[in-house]
Amino acid sequence: MSVLTKAGVIARWAMLGLLLGAPLVPLVPMVAWSDEGTQVGIDNFKFNPNPLTVEKGTEVTWTNHDDIPHSIVLNSIGVRSKAMDTDGTFAYKFDKAGTYFYVCGLHPFMQSKVVVK
Amino acid sequence: MSIDIPDPDRRGFLKCMTWAGSAALWTVAGGIPRSHIIGQANAAETGFTFAQVSDSHLGFDKPANPNVTNTFQQALDYVTAMPEKPAFIIHTGDITHLSKPAQFDTGAQLLGATKLPVYTVPGEHDVLEDDRKSYLNHYGKGTKGDGWYSFNASGVHFVGLVNVMNLQGNGLGDLGQAQLEWLEKDVKGLSSSTPIVVMAHVPLWLVYQDWGWGTADGAQALSYMKRFGSVTVLNGHIHQIMQKVEGHVAFHTARSTAFPQGVPGVAQAPGPVMVPPGDLQKFLGTAKVTLVNNKTPLAIVDTPLAG
């Protein structure tokens, strides 16, 4: 993950704003700029969002919210995560544009894709 | 005998329901048959009985069952207290939840305390880590390939198959060519009157395609057993009882000792099902299998832990 994500930059500005006594204004863009676009949740055996579209160079993080372990298998690039228990995460940075189909290795009927622009 | 696997939709599933031959088994919401017998109801006491436990998921600690060690212990206590002392215990996989060494150790401890021989096949939860070494360290002795094996007991030929190493399609089990070739040879020399018991984690026949509840090359495996008069296939994986008798082949899936899973065609997903407090033991259980005679399938009695 790059050291300074958009959210990270905003958070730093927000901190600076707090220090300078302008507490709330810099916080507003944080919502719009949050990095939710790089997150995929797993709930009740479904990926969300499905599909996910990101910019080249983005790191995508999957988080398992189920009581059952899941894993991420990106077959076309030979990437397999370990099994993620509840609240477990897996992150992968997509450096090249393309469409990356993936499944859960334990429940391959769970299918989605990451579209990298 | 032929296995009818082509129809991957709900109709196919409903057909399975018919195969089970017992409406109560399937239609009661969260169906809890207290016991159900395949074959002759008055199973003769032949002195040869074994017990099946399955899907203990040691390490699971979520609300559906925060204490799976305790319910597994209850199941084993039930087995050791059976009046017709079982010759051994089979565990049809998902001994552990996450393949952790500590989870395997707990399993070995609890199973060992029964003082009964134990035969296992791995579930997909048992081979998540370490290239399946933790499983094979505990249960791989004397096995071939990924852990498959066979043995004879009281005139019955037992086969333990591994179908969780390379899930296919929607998650269907897979035996693979090497195991199929071994199996064909393994049963080749047996007399057709030898009763066969096949153990595997994922059902060998297609229960529900959408969730991958079947084995892609299961029909191939069963084709090697066409000539036998009594074949009993014991599976786990789906945490609920499903049965089918086809010709000389009886298929049976066991309850979990940990938590029930959703009913196909009803639940949105196959995750753990929360049941009302105090009711959990009604959904967990063990199976007792008795050799009646060598011309019919073995008699199977499922018993919940309570209720």
Could you report the predicted ipTM of this complex, rounded to two decimals? 0.80
Phi, psi angles (nearest 5°) of residue B191: -70, 145
Among left, alpha and beta (phi > 0; psi -120 to 50; other), residue B103 is alpha
Whether pLDDT at B176 is above 90:
yes
Going by pLDDT thresholds of 50, 70 and 90, the confidence category of residue B16 is: very low
Whether pLDDT at A2 is above 70:
no
Which of the residues B124, B131, B166 would you substitute to probe the A interface, choosing the one with the greatest number of A C-beta atoms within 10 Å?
A: B124
pLDDT at A68: 96
Position B37: which residue type?
Answer: I
Whether pLDDT at A21 is above 50:
no
Interchain contact, B270 vs A107, CB within 8 Å: yes
Interchain contact, A67 vs B272, CB within 8 Å: yes
Interchain contact, A44 vs B272, CB within 8 Å: no
Which of the residues A43, A107, A110, A111 would you substitute to probe the B interface, choosing the one with the greatest number of B C-beta atoms within 10 Å?
A: A107
**pLDDT tens digits for range B109-124:** 999 999 999 999 999 9
Q: Distance between CA B191 and CA B304 in Å, rounded?
A: 36
Interface check A48 vs B, CB under 8 A:
no
Most confident of A18-32, B11-25, B284-298: B284-298
- pLDDT mean across residues, chain A: 80
Interface check B274 vs A, CB under 8 A:
no
Interface check A106 vs B, CB under 8 A:
yes
Angle made by CA atoms A87, A90, A93, in degrees to the nearest 5: 145
Q: Distance between CA B8 and CA B65 in Å, rounded?
A: 32
Other CB atoms within 10 Å distance of the CB of residue A107: 24
Indicate the residue of B128, B212, B271 with minimum beta-carbon distance to A66: B271
Q: Distance between CA B139 and CA B126 in Å, rounded?
A: 11
CA distance B99 to chain A (A): 10
- Minimum CA–CA partner of B128 in chain A: A83
Other CB atoms within 10 Å distance of the CB of residue B133: 13
Interface check A87 vs B, CB under 8 A:
no
- CA dist B39 → A21, B1, B3, B163 (Å): 81, 18, 20, 27
Residue indicated by tokens 């081979």: B127
**pLDDT tens digits for range B124-169:** 999 998 888 999 999 999 999 999 999 999 889 999 999 999 999 9
- pLDDT mean across residues, chain B: 83
Q: Distance between CA B258 and CA B95 in Å, rounded?
A: 10
pLDDT at B296: 61
CA distance A41 to chain B (A): 16
CB B259 within 8 A of CB B68: yes
pLDDT at B89: 95
Interchain contact, B269 vs A46, CB within 8 Å: yes
Other CB atoms within 10 Å distance of the CB of residue B253: 30
Whether pLDDT at B185 is above 80:
yes
Going by pLDDT thresholds of 50, 70 and 90, the confidence category of residue A35 is: low
Instruction: Point out the least confidently predicted range of A92-106, B23-37, B165-179.
Output: B23-37
pLDDT at B272: 95
Interchain contact, B98 vs A83, CB within 8 Å: yes
User: How many residues can be counted in chain B?
Assistant: 307
Whether pLDDT at B33 is above 90:
no
Going by pLDDT thresholds of 50, 70 and 90, the confidence category of residue A32 is: very low
CB B71 within 8 A of CB B32: no
Interface check B128 vs A, CB under 8 A:
yes
- Minimum CA–CA partner of A44 in chain B: B269
- Minimum CA–CA partner of A110 in chain B: B170
Phi, psi angles (nearest 5°) of residue B264: -60, 140
Interface check B62 vs A, CB under 8 A:
yes
CA distance A76 to chain B (A): 16
Residues 6+ apart with CB under 8 A from B58: B68, B69, B72, B95, B96, B97, B103, B104, B106, B107
Interchain contact, A85 vs B98, CB within 8 Å: yes
Indicate the residue of A82, A105, A109 with minimum beta-carbon distance to B211: A109
**pLDDT tens digits for range B43-90:** 444 458 899 999 999 999 999 999 999 999 999 999 999 888 899 999
